Chains A and B, each alone.
Chain A
């Protein structure tokens, strides 16, 4: 089982609609969680950190469910510029994993006019 798993998509979303997707992680000792965004043939950029209580940043809402070991990202009122691949990132837990980030392969979102 991969340490971080994501539905690769693509999620085709009409402009203005809401889209949500999850990411599951296998290591229950993971401490920190992030969503990064990667545009086609570009570098990844931090979208938002994910806090235990859930957090919002404008149209983006992230949730963490430790019991079921997944995080989620919801995008409201989708814009064409939201089209990208969204990477789930988890810090590995355990004594030997200090500081190591584990990236998922990404979920592709395509927002259509």
Chain B
């Protein structure tokens, strides 16, 4: 199946731990993203990579570090987890970026529900 897949689907961990979420897309897209959806359902962009290059880095604590080993993968590592990090994290990809985004919809993974206790 062609898709954006992310693992794990659920992640329950304690404050202070370090965790990683992995994302892979086999759609051949050039751009990948990490979004955070909080309890109020707002989806906020965190990072975006285009061909392995970081192009968007929103105001995100530096405890969050994305890594893109190749254009099909974008992983998210989180250090020293805090209660406020609890949210659903979505990976997404699109063929184009920026001014071409109009004809290039986002394809989302099915989300990672992170709960920090």
**Which residues of chain B are near A45, meaning CB under 8 Å?**
108
Check: B48 CB closer than 8 A to any chain A CB.
yes
* Interface residues in chain B, defined as those with a beta carbon under 8 Å from any beta carbon in chain A: 40-45, 48, 55-56, 90, 97-99, 101-103, 105-106, 108-111
Stretch at the interface among A17-25, A69-77, A98-106: A98-106
Chain A residues 66 to 113 lying within 8 A of chain B, measured CB to CB, are 85, 87, 91, 98-101, 103-106
Number of A-B residue pairs, CB cutoff 8 Å, is: 49
**Which residues of chain B are near A46, meaning CB under 8 Å?**
105-106
Q: Give the interface residue-count category, chain A.
A: 20 to 34
* Interface residues in chain A, defined as those with a beta carbon under 8 Å from any beta carbon in chain B: 31-32, 34, 36, 41-46, 49, 85, 87, 91, 98-101, 103-106
Select from chain B the residue with minimum beta-carbon distance to A32: B102
Whether A99 lies near B106 (C-beta < 8 A) is no
Whether A91 lies near B108 (C-beta < 8 A) is no
> Which one of B42, B102, B106, B110 contacts A42 once the chains associate, using CB atoms below 8 Å?
B110
Docked complex Cα distance between A101 and B92 (Å): 12
Instruction: Pick from A31, A42, A44 the residue with the most CB of B within 10 Å.
Output: A44
Query: Taking A87-B43, A103-B42 as contacts, is the C-beta distance between A43 and B97 under 8 angstroms?
Result: no
Select from chain A the residue with minimum beta-carbon distance to B45: A100
**Which residues of chain B are near A36, meaning CB under 8 Å?**
106
> Which one of A31, A44, A49, A99 contacts B108 once the chains associate, using CB atoms below 8 Å?
A44
Select from chain B the residue with minimum beta-carbon distance to A36: B106
Query: Taking A45-B108, A106-B41 as contacts, is the C-beta distance between A99 and B101 under 8 angstroms?
Result: yes
